[in-house]
Amino acid sequence: MKTPIDIAVTGAAGQISYSLLFRLASGELLGPEQPIVLRLLEVPQAMQTLQGVVMELNDCAYPLLQKIVMTDDPKVAFDNIDYAFLVGAKPRGPGMLRADLLKDNAEIFRVQGKALNEYASRRVKVLVTGNPANTNALIAISNAPDLGPDCFTAMAMLDHKRAIGQLAEKCGVISRDIKNVMVWGNHSCTQYPDLHHAKVKGLDALSLVEREWFVNEFIPTVQHRGTEVIKVRGQSSAASAAHAAIEHMRIWAHGTEIDDWVSMAVASDGSYGIEEGLVYSFPVTVADGRISIVKALDLNEFSLERLRLNEAELKEERQAVKHLL
């Protein structure tokens, strides 16, 4: 039997976690041979709800689930963990922008960055899902100097999957037929879902769809999908967010396919002129647990303009939380 791996999930009593935890416990992240320990962090007021979720996890009798730790103390939650799903944060409601959440959520990531810095494994993989995810990840990075930015990412995978879903539907194919979609920038409505390098069954995606559809339907649909889900469902996306979180971490652990890339928000290394250090979504490949930004893609002026817009927005968000950095 392998040594168990510790996985922390924050916001464990919330709606995303209600999907995420059961899939983690069933082995979807690390496979059917790898036992896990779940370390669940919540605020004191949510402990009773979390107790109920833990009862349900126990009722599943998952063979891989070695132990569950429930706590309101980040030090206990992050003790020697290899994976951290930072989900715990307020979601937005109708009429709000994700950036409106900064005031309430930013402090959470200062505290958790510090705790990760002190207690997590030195090779921890951290995924920030709580919104606004990119800037929350920047705050966590700034407060975890001993871990370094490579340990941190923010989630663009839901946007990446949304883009694939829209393109597959338009072309009448399945998601497996689509490669090299990318989403640049911020997880906000300025994000730039880009099809200039995408392939559908090996053919250039933009040769199969009208430019008008790409610019006036595809891009805004993906950009505003989160808002639309809130409007239609009455609550922000949860099962799809949990799926994207597992996919992001699974790919970080096991690597990308040979002929494809995915979108992840990582600390910029200056690629494509994006200021170093900003947490920005790029097309990336992953091998041996290391994330590499795909370099030297040809970008036209249409794309570059959208990349810069995202950079400017992320700089504004950074300015708003400069006291936490």
**Which residues are marked as active site?**
187
Q: Applying CB under 6 A, which of residues 10, 131, 180, 256 lies at the interface with ligand LMR? A: 131
- What are the b/e assignments for 93-109, b being 16+ CB within 10 Å? eeeeebbebbeebbebb
Q: Applying CB under 6 A, which of residues 98, 199, 243, 318 lies at the interface with ligand LMR? A: 98
Residue 160 vs 306, nearer CB to ligand NAD: 160
User: Is residue 10 a known part of a binding site?
Assistant: no
77 three-state secondary structure: helix
- Say if residue 63 is preceded by a cis peptide, omega within 30 of 0: no
Q: Which stretch binds ligand NAD (CB under 6 A): 233-241, 256-264, 274-282, 311-319?
A: 233-241
Q: Applying CB under 6 A, which of residues 7, 9, 30, 158 lies at the interface with ligand NAD? A: 158
Give the C-alpha separation, 165 to 190, whole Å. Answer: 19
Name which of ligand NAD, ligand LMR, none residue 167 binds, using a CB cut-off of 5 to 8 Å depending on partner kind.
Answer: none
Q: Could you tell me whether strands 262-267 and 203-204 are parallel, antiparallel, or unpaired per DSSP bridges?
A: unpaired
Give the C-alpha separation, 139 to 314, whole Å. Answer: 12
Interactions with ligand LMR, residue window 15-34 (CB under 6 A): none
Q: Which H/E stretch holds residue 154?
A: strand 152-154
Is there binding between residue 225 and ligand NAD (CB under 6 A)? Answer: no
Is there binding between residue 133 and ligand NAD (CB under 6 A)? Answer: yes
Residue 252 beta carbon to ligand NAD: minimum distance, rounded to whole angstroms:
15
Give the C-alpha separation, 187 to 248, whole Å. Answer: 14
Is there binding between residue 239 and ligand NAD (CB under 6 A)? Answer: no
Task: Let me know: does 69 contact 39? Beta carbons within 8 Å.
Answer: yes
Name which of ligand LMR, ligand NAD, none residue 6 binds, using a CB cut-off of 5 to 8 Å depending on partner kind.
Answer: none
Residue 172 beta carbon to ligand NAD: minimum distance, rounded to whole angstroms:
27
Residue nearest to ligand NAD (CB): 14
Give the C-alpha separation, 242 to 11, whole Å. Answer: 12
Residue 12 beta carbon to ligand LMR: minimum distance, rounded to whole angstroms:
18
Name which of ligand NAD, ligand LMR, none residue 229 binds, using a CB cut-off of 5 to 8 Å depending on partner kind.
Answer: ligand LMR
Give the C-alpha separation, 266 to 282, whole Å. Answer: 7
- What are the b/e assignments for 266-305, b being 16+ CB within 10 Å? bbbeebbebeebbbbbbbbbbeeeebbbbeebebeeebee
CA 88 to chain centre: 13
Q: Applying CB under 6 A, which of residues 5, 7, 8, 10 lies at the interface with ligand NAD? A: 10
Binding residues for substrate: 92, 98, 131, 162
Q: By the criterion CB under 6 A, which residues form the site for ligand LMR? A: 91-92, 98, 131, 158, 226-227, 229-230, 236-237
Q: By the criterion CB under 6 A, which residues form the site for ligand NAD? A: 10-11, 13-16, 41-43, 46, 87-92, 108, 129-131, 133, 155, 158, 187, 236-238, 241
Binding residues for NAD(+): 11-17, 105, 112, 129-131
